[in-house]
Amino acid sequence: MEGKRENQRGLDVAIHIMEDLLRTDPLNESIISMLAPLYLEDGRREEATAIWEKAAREARGTAAGPLLERYAEVLVSQRKFKEFTDVQMRLLENEADVKRRREIFLRAVERLMWADIVQGTLPDDQVQLRLKLLLSALEERSRRAPFDGFWHEALATVYERQGDATRAFEEMKHAYYTAPETPFSLEQLRAAAMRVGDIKSAIYFQKQIAAAASAKSGAEEWRELVELLEQDFRMVEADQARRRLEPSSPRTQPRSKNWPATTWRPARKRPPAACRSRWPVSGPGM
């Protein structure tokens, strides 16, 4: 009994010292990192969270990032996923560099999806609940800043995880049209358009792919364009695109004068080019 009282006195003294230090430097991450575990040991869980929350709320400039990240970790460890998501949105809004924003976002998604995983899988209802929290926060930001392509990139990633290919493609297009450094390649955009049956968008992106193709891959890309145009019954354009193949592909069959343009086909077909994504489209719980 005497030993327990002695331990408590030592804990009280340590807390008192750290509180005095924190009053002189309220945004000092090291002091908060030492005081918060002492509060937890003393059974003062809410106070342990509150000191992080206060510091995160008051932090400005370069000091804000590390404090917000530590506070977010405290929140997710306590299963406060809504608050965790809000802190992540603040981190994203404070960051100007788009590459850093992508890193922060992807790290936040993975942390949210892996929290509380049991035996390697997260129950589907929890996956959907956490994705909805992200969607709600991201949609609000995209409404506030409709020409900031990053929010559309992030929305596309979350919709993809939800399995909503149509809405993911819509957000991919928004990002492509508004962001100069969109992470989505033309091949990925074309593949996404094909998945949702948007042949006109697929043709739009394939035209750009074909026009920019190297001499080595050019014939393949123009064949792809011909096939897409014919699927959309745009035979005049298909014939024009087909003519681009004639001088560049030794395997292109010569067209007889008696063959109508609408029935001629190149000698070889290929499946659509693979999508090259820089965003992960699957993750834990999917």
Same domain as 265, residue 206: yes
From 163, 184, 205, the end of a domain falls on 184
64 domain residue, yes or no: no
For residue 118, what pLDDT band results from cuts at 50, 70 and 90?
low
pLDDT in tens, 263-284: 434 444 444 544 444 444 444 4
Number of structural domains (the chain) is 3
| Amino acid at residue number 205 | F
Q: Residue 258's domain spans which residues?
A: 186-278
140 vs 262: which has the higher pLDDT? 140
The pLDDT of residue 1 is 66
Least confident of 180-184, 195-199, 202-206: 180-184
Same domain as 190, residue 224: yes
249 domain residue, yes or no: yes
Same domain as 22, residue 83: no
pLDDT in tens, 23-54: 999 888 889 889 988 988 888 888 888 888 88
168 domain residue, yes or no: yes
Same domain as 207, residue 179: no
User: What is d(CA 209, CA 181) in angstroms, rounded to the nearest whole number?
Assistant: 17
Same domain as 130, residue 222: no
Q: By the 8 A CB rule, do 187 and 199 touch?
A: no
206 domain residue, yes or no: yes
Instruction: Report, as an integer, the average pLDDT of 234-241.
Output: 91
From 184, 199, 218, the end of a domain falls on 184
What predicted TM-score, i.e. pTM, was given to this entire model?
0.72
63 domain residue, yes or no: no
Q: By the 8 A CB rule, do 93 and 141 touch?
A: yes
From 184, 213, 246, the end of a domain falls on 184
The pLDDT of residue 169 is 96
1 domain residue, yes or no: no
Same domain as 104, residue 34: no
Same domain as 84, residue 54: no
What CATH number is given to the structural domain containing 130? 1.25.40
Same domain as 207, residue 263: yes
Q: Helices 149-162 and 98-114 sit at what angle, rounded to 10 degrees?
A: 30
From the DSSP assignment, how many helices (H) and strands (E) are in the chain? 13, 0
- Tell which residue, 185, 115, 183, has the closest CA to residue 149: 183
The pLDDT of residue 119 is 59
Same domain as 158, residue 80: yes
Same domain as 172, residue 235: no
Q: By the 8 A CB rule, do 111 and 163 touch?
A: no
Same domain as 175, residue 78: yes
Instruction: Report, as an integer, the average pLDDT of 99-114.
Output: 92
The pLDDT of residue 259 is 38
